[in-house]
Structure 1
Amino acid sequence: MTNRDIVWHEASITKEEYQQKNKHKSSILWLTGLSGSGKSTIANAAARELFEQGYQVIVLDGDNIRHGLNRDLGFSDEDRKENIRRIGEVAKLFVQQGTIVITAFISPFREDRQQVRELVEAGEFNEVYIKCDLDICEQRDPKGLYKKARNGEIPFFTGIDSPYEEPEAPELVLDSGQHDREACKNQLIEFVKQKLS
């Protein structure tokens, strides 16, 4: 079987119909930042509040995805790129279903984040930089990963021996090094209400 034998089937329910029923636009809120910056915490706190307010929302979390869909991938640059490519495709499917997708991935490379942006229509990808200095992330180290990386137990660890490319023009910056989780969550929710309601 070749790609020519595979046909895209148009959905019987359009994205616009989902959005009309949901009373909000669909979008990817792509949270990116170093390990320990608070991506998952902020994503889940915001999703809970948005859900309680009637929004159709889902969180795609980096660790959770690696337990299933991407469990075959490691942390080489090539595997990281494939990890983000797959997540982008999954997020796109949810956007087509009228959902707000909040992703929480380190996603260290600008090029990969740009490729996800190009999967959806203009305005449907919103890069959210969870800004936090490496030293603060390392002090937090909720999973003990920085300590392991410093001891050479985890190769290719972002911020230690693998680069993190900060966003150049994110739609939103949440400074989790200067503000607590609640303040960052509130900023994200306000952003959603202004852009997607």
Structure 2
Amino acid sequence: MKLPHQKGMVIWLMGLSGAGKSTISNLFEEQLNESGFFSIKLDGDEMRKGLNHNLGFSMDDRAENIRRAAETAKIIALNGIIVTCSFITPLNAHREIARTILGDMYFEVFIDCPLDVCEQRDIKGLYEQAYNNTLKNFTGISSAFERPENPDLVLHTDHFTAKQCCDQLHNAVKTRIADIS
């Protein structure tokens, strides 16, 4: 069954821990629902508790984490559902995995936030653990994060509120999600 008035697509939010990916994803889903669209969120933390529970944080495991998430998102989007993915996605090679799997359904959003701001927002204490070497392979500290080469959209969460970023995202994708045929 195809959902009326919408096209399936995958909106892939990436950035450092604490950049605002999940916050924007939650607000965006609310905004989509209020506008009459149906969407599903896939969150990196939640995926690692379930489908990807057996993966660690080596580069190979991170690549497999993204591959599984992209394959899952593809199945959902092919059914006409808008999927918002919130994954750190640290390397350009990982983003290429998602882009290759998702093709034209892929819309890449870089949640750009300086490391010091992400550290200030860290309610889980992950950055402190990484600096104390009790948390290994932490992106941005002991594991690389490459700035995306050509994202479809960049949201600066250190300059704009989460709501303003959500509005920017909605404006960027609204013509792509509406099925006017």
Q: Normalised by the shorter chain, which TM-score bucket?
A: over 0.9
Q: Which residue of 2 aligns with 1:105?
A: 87
CA RMSD across the alignment: 1.1
Task: Tell me whether 1:165 sits opposite 2:151 in the alignment.
Answer: no
Among candidates 165, 171, 182, match of residue 163 of structure 2: 182
2:133 maps to 1:152: yes
Preserved contact between residue 85 and residue 116 of structure 1 (Cα < 8 Å): yes
CA distance in 1: counterparts of 2:31 and 2:135, whole angstroms? 35
Larger radius of gyration: 1
Question: Equivalent residues in 2 for 1:82-121 (5 A)?
Answer: 82-121=64-103
Q: Which runs of 5+ in 1 are unaligned?
A: 1-12
- When normalised by structure 1's length, the TM-score is 0.87
Q: Distance in 1 between matches of 2:139 and 2:102?
A: 27
TM-score (normalizing by structure 2): 0.94
- Contact kept, 8 Å, 1:35 with 1:106, in 2: the verdict is yes
Identity %: 46
Tell me the distance in 2 between the aligned counterparts of 1:166 and 1:27.
23
In the alignment of these two chains, the number of paired residues is 178
With 34-43 and 110-119 compared, the bigger mean Cα shift is at 110-119
Residue 78 (structure 1) aligned with residue 33 (structure 2): no
Moved more, 45-54 or 60-69: 45-54
In 2, distance between residues paired with 1:168 and 1:127? 10
Quick check: 1:34–1:164 contact (8 Å CA) kept in 2?
A: yes
SS in structure 2 of the partner of residue 120 of structure 1: helix
In structure 2, what is the Cα distance between the partners aligned to 1:73 and 1:142?
24
Alignment deviations for residues 55-113 of structure 1 (CA, whole Å, 9 cap, x no partner): 11011001111111011111111111110010010001011111111000001011111
> For residue 147 of structure 1, what is the amino acid of its counterpart?
E
4+ long deviations beyond 2 Å: none
Q: Which amino acid aligns with 2:47?
A: I
Distance in structure 1 (CA, Å) of the matches to 2:102 and 2:85: 15
State the SS of the aligned residue for 2:12.
strand
Q: Does the Cα contact within 8 Å between 1:22 and 1:56 map onto a contact in 2?
A: no
